[in-house]
Structure 1
């Protein structure tokens, strides 16, 4: 009997809070919960929605009320530090030792759930955030080779020449400030390098003030080429417009690729393809999720079995195949994964730099301040004001 399978006993529940309420994420959880229940017939997994946009306020309020779920999904790294400082995370180092996870998990994701030498969660996926998706026929018609565009500045010139009737160069969702920050981060990395991004986001803002300002100027120039209603458009709607052929390019994380794979007559390599965002070669800008255990919850035998199950090679294979990400374990067979995910894994292994998205790279307070700065940029398009606000946000 495996470590994440228990004998049937009286009915019990394990509660998990997560972000995935629709699409591939919802299908992924349905399959995983059914698999866990088949291995543990007396145990049901119940779940609750914890939206990304509420900055984790649901979980935080439950922690304050001393009624958190035993297991919840969080961004690891800097985002977990305040939870740990408040004593809200359970040390699960014993599970790591019992299951040999330190040898199985890839170093980067493994380190992001580690604080002060102890483990406070289990990484469950790796996403790439510096993808540039495009329509194959559109770039060929315009004589563009996306892989040969060397910088965000050069890409701006490419986008300026892409407009044709109702077709624009690139969809730019601006409703959610996180999407604006994601584009900004890739502009910084593509124009000035991953070390500049690291320095800015780790508080060395005065040393990189001119680079930060220039990146905001480029962000502003990109926004000039966005649709008039871009400030009301979210990532999902922008992606739908891209799939309908209303833009040549779309910059986003690889989580978008699942919708392309699911679409009939939209074949990878023939109809759509991807390159890295210009200037970010040898960079794998990553985002990752982790399952963490709450210190104030009843972390019983069933909750332990569930965490062990979700960390297992089989569950991680299912999770990432459906979710559209690559596994953080070394021992997961990717043979039946879509080609784009196998390519992403090869790129991950070959990359030299692994900067993380804002939510993992900076403290939660700094992330909130940076999102406020991005929201003000969308509203005012004031480069000076945005530059000052980001200097303050990253400098905290």
Structure 2
């Protein structure tokens, strides 16, 4: 997902979308804000006002349009309609571009003073372009003051929900774990490799070499067609080698003080690349992951969405055919990949939006959504009975985690423009595997 965190202006939209794209987005912007009954024409505590005819119409913009993601949203909206039958829901997807299409749609509508009621967005620093411009309402009391939310969310999630401000501006709805190492049990056992005994990223390299020598399987399934998979692999290796504190120094822009540490982790990823599949540059992450399912690859580093692919396979059972462990060196760490909903200013339906965000923060909403999404609830008090053994184990790890860092690859750890620069650096890295040149690009990535 690409972002641009320059000031949200018409010039920005025209520059990033082109005239034709901007014209199309303007057409979409014109369809928001009508429909529904109710509203008293008054402003709410969250800011914004009602037009008197549309305050019971909730427009939600998102990119969840297929598979388990669509099922998850449908389950969420079904529960919301049961809780608030008076609210008419306008489900308005903006799919494509791994979320970049939605980002462009929202920025265009914001500049035209026509925001939707709410929209899906990563929390953390992905929110900064909006909080910098004061375009999100403070929901600390009207939403976060309800349903024991403040006591049910861990500190790392609460911090991300504030978007760099002192107040809550978003409601996280799900959590995926990034620092997983999945493996095919028969492949690693045939090589006499025990994933649970691998304690750091360098030992993982030794295990990959053993797999290569003892089996015909690809040691590490991975795609290099687009840079995001390698960005998330590198940041996880960096945490595994240096710890969360050093990673937080990096995302704060203190790259030059970490030169040896950054170069070491880049060298480690370069070494791993010797064990990637031969077609890594032309496959997608799920194609790479299918090699684990088929017994053609031993390991893959991926977010826990990879387990959804395993679940869909009829004869690939958790703890029998496949397993997972925290990426070596990251035990006790739960790297967070999250989605959230926000309350835009100049809101067309403030009361309906408050109701939806309040519901999204409930145990019922998060149980419905995450059971379908293949993620865990950010609330730690949601029953996991219907989630299955893998997600139950993930939830237990989350509740017991010592640190919950955000992620560069999935938009929460750095500003959107910095993320784009880092992705560019890794795109070059995948072409040259030049550690020194990539380090120099990472230093300059924060010069925005």
SS in 1 for 2:145: helix
**2:227 matches 1:177:** yes
User: Aligned match of 2:100 in 54, 73, 91?
Assistant: 54
Q: TM-score with structure 1 length normalisation?
A: 0.92
Cross-structure match for 1:383? 435
Q: Does 1:144 align with 2:196?
A: no
Does residue 156 of the first structure (1) align with residue 205 of the second (2)?
yes
Shift of 1:47: 2.4
Give the alignment partner of residue 101 of structure 1, picking from 132, 135, 149.
149
Q: 1:167 aligns with which of 217, 221, 232?
A: 217
Per the alignment, residue 234 of structure 1 pairs with: 284
CA offsets, 1:322-356, max 9 Å, x none? 11222111331112221111111221222222221
Q: Which residue is equivalent to 1:3?
A: none
Q: Distance in 1 between matches of 2:248 and 2:426?
A: 19
8 Å contact 2:220–2:277 — kept in the other structure?
no
Deviation digits for residues 164-203 of structure 1, max 9, x if unmatched?
7762001112223221110001111112222222222212
Output the TM-score relative to the length of structure 2.
Answer: 0.81
Shifted more, 9-18 versus 193-202: the winner is 9-18
Superposed, 1:208-287 pairs within 5 Å as 208-287=258-337
> 1:63-117 deviations in whole A, cap 9, x for unaligned?
1222222111111111111211112212222222254422333332122112433
* Contact 1:125–1:288, Cα closer than 8 Å, also in 2: yes
Residue 190 (structure 1) aligns with: 240
CA contact (8 A) 1:77 1:112 kept: yes
1:371 to 416, 423, 426: 423
Change (3 A) 1:361 1:30: same
Q: Look up the SS of the partner of 1:72 in the other structure.
A: strand
* 1:66-105 correspondence runs (5 A): 66-93=113-140, 94-105=142-153
Structure 1's 261 and 78: CA in aligned 2 closer, same or farther, altered over 3 A?
Answer: same
* Aligned-pair Cα RMSD in Å: 2.2
Given that residues 17 and 49 in structure 1 are in contact (C-alpha distance below 8 angstroms), is that contact kept between their aligned partners in structure 2? yes
**Partner residue in 2 for 1:354:** 404
Counterpart contact for 1:8–1:40, Cα < 8 Å: no
Structure 1 segments unaligned to the other structure (5+ residues) = 1-6
**TM-aligned CA deviation for residue 46 of structure 1:** 1.1
- Which whole-Å CA distance do the structure 2 matches of 1:187 and 1:361 have between them? 16
Equivalent residue for 1:129, pick from 178, 181, 187: 178
Q: Which moved more, 1:138-147 or 1:354-363?
A: 354-363
- 2: CA distance, partners of 1:68 / 1:107: 29
Q: Which residue of 1 aligns with 2:353?
A: 303
Give the secondary-structure state (helix, strand or coil) at the position aligned to 2:64. Answer: coil
Q: What displacement does 1:379 show?
A: 2.1
The alignment partner of 2:305 has SS state of helix
Q: After the TM superposition, which of the residue ranges 187-196 and 137-146 deviates more from structure 2?
A: 187-196
SS at match of 1:275: strand
CA distance in 2, matches of 1:98, 1:311: 8
Separation (CA, whole Å) in 1 of partners of 2:402 and 2:255 = 23
Structure 2 Cα separation of the partners of residues 268 and 45 of structure 1? 38
Structure 2 CA distance, aligned partners of 1:265 and 1:372?
Answer: 39
Question: In 2, are the aligned partners of 1:200 and 1:394 still within 8 Å (CA)?
Answer: no
Give the Cα–Cα distance (whole angstroms) in 2 for the partners of residues 241 and 20 of structure 1.
26
- What's the secondary structure of 2:292's corresponding residue? helix
Q: Note the alpha carbon deviations across 1:221-262, whole angstroms, 9 max, x for none.
A: 212221232122222222223222221111111122122123
